[in-house]
Amino acid sequence: MDKNNQPADNNIYVYFRKIRAPLRETELYPPIKSYLENQGYEVKSEIKGCDVIAVRGSEAPVIVELKTSFNLTLLFQGIDRQALSEDVYMAFAIPHKLKRTNPWFRQQKDIIKLCRRLGLGLITVRMGENQPTDIQVHVDPGPYQPRKNNRRQGLLLQEFERRVGDPNEGGTNKRPIITAYRQDTLRCASYLNQQQKAKVADIKKNTLVEKTAAILQRDVYGWFIRVERGIYQLSPKGHEAITEYDDIIKSLKK
């Protein structure tokens, strides 16, 4: 679809719907049809399994698959239709008042990124009781080549090199991820647990943690208490951490 040829007010069509449950896919067709016809397409529905076919002159056909919500079925249909045309859109309904539980509210950026990677177009049809239907094109079909982020890759490899051993389980963990930073913080906490309190310089010398001062001053996890200038001891949370991460501390000592 050519966004540049769209009329200024083409995103909103006076197509009112009285709410009744459940919403049907067929209710998405009239506003999508009007949207395409406003751009000079001839539009027909249900041809060879495709929900919407739009043809304009000698251009490749535009295919639109309709669903009442974004789901895997819609995604699979969109991928399948790419064998028929390069211009495939997925269109789904969203309410005028989005709830936090709605996938579009929570995962909009991820859904758009996924569609770009797959070369699929994405359209939302905002529908509500006695409200004009608002159609918005978020992504047009096209080839996608992700740009490498060298900085993020560098940070990834840096964390890999700094992390001692393999202290986490792949997937969901019951406790926080053991990062290289957390390992360094545990080294400092373990030393303070042995000494009760100590100077920053002594902690750094005995743990070999290069950023000891920054770790103690920032106190990200609330494990430390400054008792005097440059002198720290463990907080109650710090003592709890010694018990909770006893296995990690033992592995670091090895």
Q: Which amino acid is at 5?
A: N
Whether 159 maps to a domain, the answer reads: no
With 0.75 as the threshold, say if the pTM is over it. no
Q: Give the domain range for residue 226.
A: 176-253
Looking at the fold, whether 130 and 19 belong to one and the same domain comes out as: yes
Residue 167 near residue 248, CB atoms below 8 Å: yes
Q: Residue-wise pLDDT tens for the chain (254 aa)?
A: 665 455 444 444 444 444 445 678 888 899 999 999 999 999 999 988 899 999 999 998 999 999 988 999 999 999 999 999 999 999 999 887 777 777 788 888 999 999 999 999 999 998 766 677 789 999 999 886 667 788 888 888 888 888 888 888 766 567 888 999 999 999 999 999 999 999 999 999 999 999 999 999 999 999 999 999 999 999 999 999 999 999 999 999 87
Cα dihedral angle (112, 118, 119, 125), rounded to 10 degrees?
A: -40
> Which of 88, 120, 139 is a domain's end point?
139
How large is the greatest C-alpha to C-alpha distance in the chain, in angstroms? 82
Q: What values do phi and psi take at 204, rounded to 5?
A: -65, -40
User: How many domains does one find in the chain?
Assistant: 2
Looking at the fold, whether 124 and 195 belong to one and the same domain comes out as: no
Whether 154 maps to a domain, the answer reads: no
Whether 166 maps to a domain, the answer reads: no
Which CATH number covers residue 231?
Answer: 1.10.10.10
Which CATH number covers residue 28?
Answer: 3.40.1350
Whether 248 maps to a domain, the answer reads: yes
Looking at the fold, whether 135 and 9 belong to one and the same domain comes out as: yes
